[in-house]
Structure 1
């Protein structure tokens, strides 16, 4: 159903870089064009039919060539997702334009005919649309996509949003002065992507792509061209490729379809059709008979990674037969993924991480790819292990039980999407229509696909799926990339040795044995205990129950999702209750327990047992709390509660799995310490400084893992979950109290309770007071990173938390204007205002950005100057209005989200705050004024100031 999702890691590994991400695909996509053999074998007539286009989307084409897609969708209410898709990207650049497709995307935000300079961003921010988080764009090799989520309950804002799309399409002004300012921003974006990955990619990309044009047209472009190109080169790209026949407008949301169609026809119909348009060429990745092998190293590469790709022509989906073929690949990927995951459960796993799957690659190519991170740099062992698993499938195939589980899991996933069809968010649809325009991928309705799956899934046999391995694994169009630390260069295998590893893989493999356990999850079902007290909080539709064993349950039934119940539980205590000698055992206790499984079920067996169910339950032990988090469906709620009960009463210790996990973690940390990246060294320093070098805030090392006592970790876990009487459970989602009550009483009412009254322990860890400067010298690239931190004591109340939020937002708006737009010194700047009540009432402001080393002092000075302006004058009223608009719009959406309510309620109860507080947000926002932000700035930007710098090594 989705080949890109399975290969996102492969694409990011190979492409990387700024704005090189590919759009996510949803829905039924590419499958094989019927082969001659298949045709000869005879395809049923019903499967020869073309894939039916989703009838709920209106598709049209204007006389000038612009395609449009419109769909009414009410989730979220009063919102719409708009896209402008251009079938043009960096692959179309001429030699003197490398990087200008991406540059053009930037210029669309820097002035259009109807929105001069930065008025476009300002207008949208004042409408509640956040720049970067909501308003955004991306440039790829073959496409440029503009993203605009907007409110629809304001006719003025909604119609102006289409004006923005139209302006992007043909009214970008490209003021030379704005172009010159944006050069610096682009160069800083490019700077942020530099490092070991980029340096190695420049070496292996041309080889594995067989010198395809893709290898020389990375979207970020070339610095020398960005610095020196003439505006005419950018205008030429805009004129050549931003034209109606290469454009699509996509609108999905809570609106009237006829009205939106009228707006699109009016605004986009007046764009002139292109005259004598340049051909929009396709650039293939040339096939090759041999195996391309790239072995690259870098001084800042921490791990040894290997990717083996079997490339083949992109598979296209046109008929229903193709859809059925695509399902086979989904099942194949699922089953081989499960097998490889089992390899990491051994006492001595052969690699730190790995996968094998079939999916999209690049350009006109698909690929079957295997990827591993070698343990201790042992490439032969890692490669042999992953390829042996591929060969095991090729030689012996999958088992009937594996296929049965894969079918159940996939059908369950599709069933869930079907059940949520009237609650699907607009953002889930827009990418389907963009991909139809760019790639020809046909979006189908979930109703059709669900029916199709139920009709044809059962007919897919083990033999059908097993045949795929022989199609995927071939000797032609094969490519291998090894990326390793420079220090390990001498011990890496040669090209000849790599070929031998690949060609000799699987010679001694035996058939896979599918080990399952056929026992009840709980040998004896608990008796339970009743609800003894009940309280209603009617204003937010919340009910509190207290069970006889002391467990408190907070319930919020919703209709936001049809097939979702999410829950959490929390209790005070956590690792804070244990001395430093037990800290490592305590902080790994829940992880080791979860990896071990429950009762008689190992983690692998538990996964098999849960096939066909949507259940996720995770125990945790934090610094001040322990608890459970989980998600499920109404149908599977009882199973989820059984898991909760088991994690309390039947934790398991799997010595082999634990040994393997700790071994892998230790190897990973050893690699990091042997070849630390600049950002890793810097973040470790930041963490240590802000933690005042407390033992519990120091970076983890292999020595920390040596202090983990498995028996002690097990004992700590049991201790933390020995008493449920101080736990509060929260349930949010589609349930009725009368239906959920018997299950709550049965499983939560039976949890152990010894009525100990615990509290967390305040460890006294604080960000140090006073002025501190710390500089870290690390890195080969000319890039510096800046962190400015203000902190102090805090008075916890809603008024103050709102002022902190406001101050962070208005400062970020102002620093974006100054450091990015005026100084052209950064790509982005982040301001985070945080506050806590537990274990102590504290606040923290963190300001961060990356820049050229020579600009560090200037940009810090400009940042402090903007803070001083806030302290003298307060924030601009227009920036405050933007903060308020963004906050209101965000809250409108959040109030219809289960995840928001679960997090909100758990925080309110843990902090002992009023659950109705969210209803008073408008009152708190009214209190944000220029004067209040002035007072806040003087209060929070005080004497406690830490300046942390990462600067490159001298060459």
Structure 2
């Protein structure tokens, strides 16, 4: 986990976790309740039980996606429970359970998953954490036979591992490749910062990936010692969520797991350690991969592990409300004149079971770290001294209450896999199972009752410890000169403390909508219903096209996309990066006359989102809403179309952020690949490339020239799908968009792309990380022939499967090699199938040769019938599930169907066409496209500076 991702998890994840985390312990609601505190009621939809051997189970019937069953084995043990000699064994063991068990010989389990229509890595996977290990299986059906087979797999995980020495030796290369994949300067910085934050905590010595020395020396006996100590019935649970009969599943679990016995005495749970900070401490870490610098002020204290009670959840809710107000204050400053940082946030809560934290942090350019630290510090102290204003509290109340309401209203169509994940976490973290309706009943009164005074008290409680941790990490260099970096930080922080805190300025909510509706609605010119698709197409007299599909896939969800213009392909005067910066500026400019901050306040507590985007063949305004906010959606679109005002402050902020991103891309092999690969494979740097950090040709006038013509004058096509009333949407569209003046179409662009057949590009990056990447690509074709394109996607899947078997399993050279085909719609003659593999620099030639041999093998002989089915059937199942999502119908079918009417035909045979793919089809495509002479190769290797 990178430092940035770590901060985001801490800052923004706590409220969602508080609402979503549920639990599995039986009869936990019989514990004593202090005073009049409400009991956390168990969700009656969850069937729980414990077998005589101590094995737990949690079962829940849920019907989305239809027929699918999400099945998991959760073990309350992870890397924290390893001995010193076992560091990395928990994760190594997780890998080994796919490599031979009582009922699945080595190499057969993944093939079994594929044969029943599951994807390895997608539907069948596992993860190892600090305190838990979890195995995941998504079954394509919930009949008795499928359930029994799935539970057989879980039983083998729980007690049937073979742990053959030959398989241990073979898998160690894969694990070392995964360790290399995850290694980065950012990860190393995170490890160092964690040691600074939590001195004395065991977590610093138990990162799940483990020690290379242990991985290289691990044998079957070492793995078995951990397996027998922690994979015990009384330390595990089976979780099943899907379209099943819970009583039947409970019986099958009893039949399969009742005879499971512990194979060794239970391991001794080690002490997590403790820490105690005092005074002001500073930390500095130079990370050359970072495109910017982060400044952080924290308080951290060790606490006893808290039981899951109404009181603890109420406390976390209030923590989050107070932190969110501070977060809003910091967010409001972003982009304003004099604000030195480009992003900022605040949070509070508990993590790693024993760590209570409060944090404020900001990301900034390297030369603005001191000023950013001062602003963050003074914003925090202003809140601590003066508290919160009524309008700030009112805003966060609206947001919190809306989150509770939406969770309740959408509960009936929750995804089984997401629900299963919540139940798994409930077991591994000992939290209660509470339904969304009970969450709202219990905690909406807490939100209502919160006052500015109480939230001020809560904030002071969060930040009451008598210490501060001041941290600066990133591309800033403070290790120059005579003073140590930590002394420089301390001096900067103490300088900020000399500035007195100032009170906040009260702000009222901005008014929206502020534009009146057109006086007369537009008239309908035509209306066509596609009964076979359930799609209605309405065309208004002014040329606006409206595509509609009502669904019941997800309660209270409506998705929309308004498409217009020819996109990047048709843009004039394009230079590398202009499209990306223009998208950022438009989205940072707010809504019409409102800036980003005013827009956020005006939309607080609503569910309507909107975002501008630029694709190769069109521009879009897209987002989501709810049935009760359909008119608000149209008011947003109307304002964006008729009162667009790009803001200069948004331009300057976007340039800062984009430049930070460019600098970060230049410092890793993955970043250099991202920056160079599309321009190389298309021969078009203006449309697919990235600029240097000077951003030549990307001034504010260029941004306006890119955005405004199409937004203000191109024909409009709106697609809306979801839980809505079709006639209401038609009426609202006529009122708001149907009354707009007719727009003239743009002249089509004849611009094409050129694939670099037979060419090679070798790049390097200044990095000490021992990691390289190899990309090999072949030219294919665009979206003109959907029958061919579908088979090319299967050919990509087949290529990926052979990469897994040869490069990962046989050579042990890569953790996650992959291949896929991408066919263009904007450029009908262009497509590319590429293979991308992250490897050790010393294995680049070997892996590139293996890729060539795979391509030759696909050309020279047809795949077996079994291999074809193992790649086709998971794709068919995935598409069947995707068809029951609003996103499929919006993006793959309705969007742009007025320009590409074939999109309304494609859904009619998609499942049958994919299912009909044959080995001969794939060999023919390989012979046509995967020619050695046509391949293009791009490599990136590290070359550390001396």
Q: 1:676 aligns with which of 660, 667, 676?
A: 667
Following the alignment from structure 1 to structure 2, what is the Cα–Cα distance between the partners of residues 93 and 792? 49
Instruction: State yes or no: 1:350 paired with 2:340.
Output: yes
Closer/same/farther in 2, CA of residues 296 and 714 from structure 1, 3 Å limit: closer
Who is 1:67 aligned against? 56
How has the CA–CA distance of structure 1 residues 380 and 25 changed in structure 2, closer, same or farther, with 3 Å as cutoff?
Answer: same
Displacement of 1:902? 0.5
Secondary structure at the aligned position of 2:539 is classed as: strand
Q: CA deviation at 1:627?
A: 2.2
1:543 equivalent in alignment to 2:536: yes
Residue 514, structure 1, aligned to residue 502, structure 2: no
Q: 1:106 to 1:454 in 2, by over 3 A?
A: same
Q: Structure 1 residue 659 and structure 2 residue 652: aligned?
A: yes
SS at match of 2:179: helix
Say whether 1:530 aligns with 2:523: yes
Superposition deviation, residue 355 in structure 1: 1.3
- Give the structure-2-normalised TM-score: 0.93
Alpha-carbon distance change, 161 to 691 in structure 1, aligned in 2, over 3 angstroms: same
Paired position in structure 2 for 1:17:
none
- Structure 2 SS opposite 1:251: strand
> 1: distance between equivalents of 2:487 and 2:584?
41
Partner of 1:820: 808
Are 1:571 and 1:625, in contact at CA under 8 Å, matched by a contact in 2?
yes
Residue 232 of structure 2 corresponds to which residue in structure 1?
A: 243
Contact 2:43 2:435 in 1 (8 A): yes
The answer to whether the aligner puts 1:564 opposite 2:557 as a matched pair is yes
Matched position secondary structure for 1:236: helix
Q: Cα gap change, 1:901/1:829 in structure 2, threshold over 3 Å: closer, same or farther?
A: same
1:800 aligns with 2:788: yes
CA 1:612–1:374: 2 relative to 1, 3 Å: closer
Q: 1:715 to 1:925 in 2, by over 3 A?
A: closer
1:603 alignment partner in structure 2: 596
Is the contact made by 1:11 and 1:362 (CA closer than 8 Å) also made in structure 2? Answer: no
- Residue 97 of structure 2 aligns with which residue? 108
Corresponding residue of 1:9: 6
1:631 aligned to which of 576, 601, 624: 624
Matches of 1:581 and 1:775, distance apart in 2: 25
8 Å CA contact retained: 2:292, 2:660? no
SS class of match (2:832): strand
C-alpha distance in structure 2 between counterparts of 1:486 and 1:418, whole Å: 46
2:26 counterpart residue number? none
- Following superposition, the deviation at residue 101 of structure 1 comes to 0.5
1:736 to 718, 725, 729: 725
Distance 1:685 1:51, change over 3 A: same
Equivalent residue in structure 1 for 2:425, among 435, 442, 447: 435
Contact 1:87/1:247 (<8 A) preserved: yes
Take 1:595 and 1:372, find their aligned partners in 2: how far apart are those partners?
18
CA distance in 1, matches of 2:18, 2:4: 14
Query: What SS is found at the alignment partner of 1:708?
Result: coil
Counterpart Cα distance in 1 of 2:807 and 2:691: 34
Shift of 1:693: 5.6
Please report how far the alpha carbon of residue 29 of structure 1 lies from its aligned counterpart in structure 2 after TM superposition. 5.3
Quote how far apart the aligned CAs of 1:752 are: 3.0
Instruction: Give the whole-Å Cα distance in 2 for the aligned partners of 1:587 and 1:53.
Output: 48
Partner of 1:158: 147
Displacement, 1:508? 2.5
**1:360 shift after superposition:** 3.1
| TM-fit CA distance, 1:408 | 1.0
Other structure's SS at 2:694 match = helix
- Give the drift of 1:715: 5.0
Question: Residue 918 of structure 1 is aligned with which of 888, 900, 907?
Answer: 907
Shift of 1:885: 1.4
Aligned residue number for residue 37 of structure 1 = none
Match of 1:451 in 2: 441
1:288 corresponds, among 277, 286, 293, to: 277
Deviations 1:785-819 (A, max 9, x none): 11111114457222101210111111111210111
SS in structure 2 of the partner of residue 676 of structure 1: coil
Q: CA deviation at 1:358?
A: 0.7
- What's the TM-score once normalised by structure 1's chain length? 0.92
Q: Report the Cα distance in structure 2 between the residues aligned to 1:161 and 1:647, rounded to whole angstroms.
A: 51
* Alpha carbons 1:212, 1:286 under 8 Å: kept: yes
1:335-374 alignment runs, 5 A limit: 335-374=325-364
Instruction: State the distance in 2 between where 1:250 and 1:547 align.
Output: 51
Match of 2:320 among 314, 317, 330: 330
Partner in structure 1 of residue 757 of structure 2: 769
CA distances 1:880-900 after superposition (whole Å, capped 9, x unpaired): 112221122112211211111
- Inter-partner Cα distance in structure 2 for 1:267 and 1:526: 67
Deviation at 1:591, TM superposition (A): 3.6
Q: How many angstroms does 1:403 deviate by?
A: 0.9
1:953 counterpart residue number: 943
Aligned to 2:267: 278
Confirm or deny that 1:138 pairs with 2:127.
yes
Q: Please give the secondary structure, in 2, of the residue aligned with 1:174.
A: coil
2:254 to 250, 265, 282: 265
Deviations 1:603-654 (A, max 9, x none): 2112111122111122333333122112100111101100100111011233
* Cα shift at 1:60: 1.2
Indicate yes or no: 2:401 matched with 1:408: no
2:712 matches 1:722: yes
CA, structure 1 residues 637+174, in 2 after alignment: closer, same or farther (shift >3 Å)?
same
Q: Between 134-143 and 520-529, report the one with greater CA deviation.
A: 520-529
Q: 2:926 aligns with which of 931, 934, 937?
A: 937
Q: How far did residue 520 of structure 1 move?
A: 4.7
Q: Is the 1:648–1:751 contact (alpha carbons within 8 Å) kept by the matching residues of 2?
A: no
CA change 1:9–1:734 in 2 (3 A) is: same
What is the CA–CA distance in structure 2 between the aligned matches of 1:362 and 1:389, rounded to whole Å? 27
For residues 400 and 615 of structure 2, the distance between their equivalents in structure 1, rounded to whole angstroms, comes to 34
| 1:388-407 superposed matches below 5 A | 388-407=378-397
Equivalent-residue separation in structure 2 for 1:547 and 1:684 (angstroms): 43
Contact 1:96 1:229 in 2 (8 A): no
- Which residue does the alignment assign to 1:891? 879
Give the direction of change, closer, same or farther, for the CA distance of 1:84–1:788 in structure 2 (3 Å limit). same
Do the aligned partners of 1:243 and 1:273 also contact (CA within 8 Å) in 2?
yes
Give unmatched runs, 5+ long, in structure 1.
Answer: 15-20, 32-42
CA distance in 1, matches of 2:498, 2:755: 55
Contact 2:197/2:300 (8 A) holds in 1: no
Q: 2:160 aligns with which of 165, 171, 174?
A: 171
- Check conservation: 1:347, 1:659, Cα contact below 8 A: no
* Alignment partner, residue 649 of structure 1: 642
Structure 1 residue 783 and structure 2 residue 771: aligned?
yes
2:576/2:689 contact within 8 Å kept: no
> 1:893-912 counterparts in 2 under 5 A?
893-905=881-893, 906=895, 908-912=897-901
Match status 1:857 vs 2:845? yes
Question: Using the alignment, how far apart are the partners of 2:822 and 2:578 within structure 1?
Answer: 29
Partner of 1:811: 799
Give the Cα separation in 1 of the matches to 2:881 and 2:139: 12
**CA–CA distance in 1 between the matches of 2:790 and 2:501?**
62
Matched-pair contact (CA < 8 Å) for 1:30–1:316 = no
Q: Could you tell me how far apart the structure 1 residues matched to 2:857 and 2:661 are?
A: 46
Distance 1:506 1:525 in 2: 53
User: In the TM superposition, what whole-angstrom CA distance separates every residue of 1:486-542 from its partner, at most 9, and x where no partner exists?
Assistant: 755327974344345445548433222233355452332213212120001100100
Distance in 1, matches of 2:655 and 2:739, equals 34
Distance 2:452 2:90 in 1: 46
Picking from 88, 111, 135, the partner of 1:99 is 88
| Cα deviation 1:211-261 (Å, max 9, x = unaligned) | 322111111011121112232111111111111121111111110111100
C-alpha displacement at 1:568, in angstroms? 0.5
Q: Flag the 1:359–1:713 CA change in 2: closer, same or farther, 3 A.
A: same
Aligned residue in 2 for 1:473:
463
1:305-324 paired onto structure 2 within 5 Å: 305-312=294-301, 313=303, 316-324=306-314
Distance 2:914 2:822 in 1: 17
- Compare 428-437 and 498-507 and name the one that shifted more: 498-507
In structure 2, C-alpha distance between the alignment counterparts of 1:316 and 1:907, rounded to whole Å: 53
3-state DSSP class of the match of 1:329? Answer: helix
- The answer to whether the aligner puts 1:52 opposite 2:45 as a matched pair is no
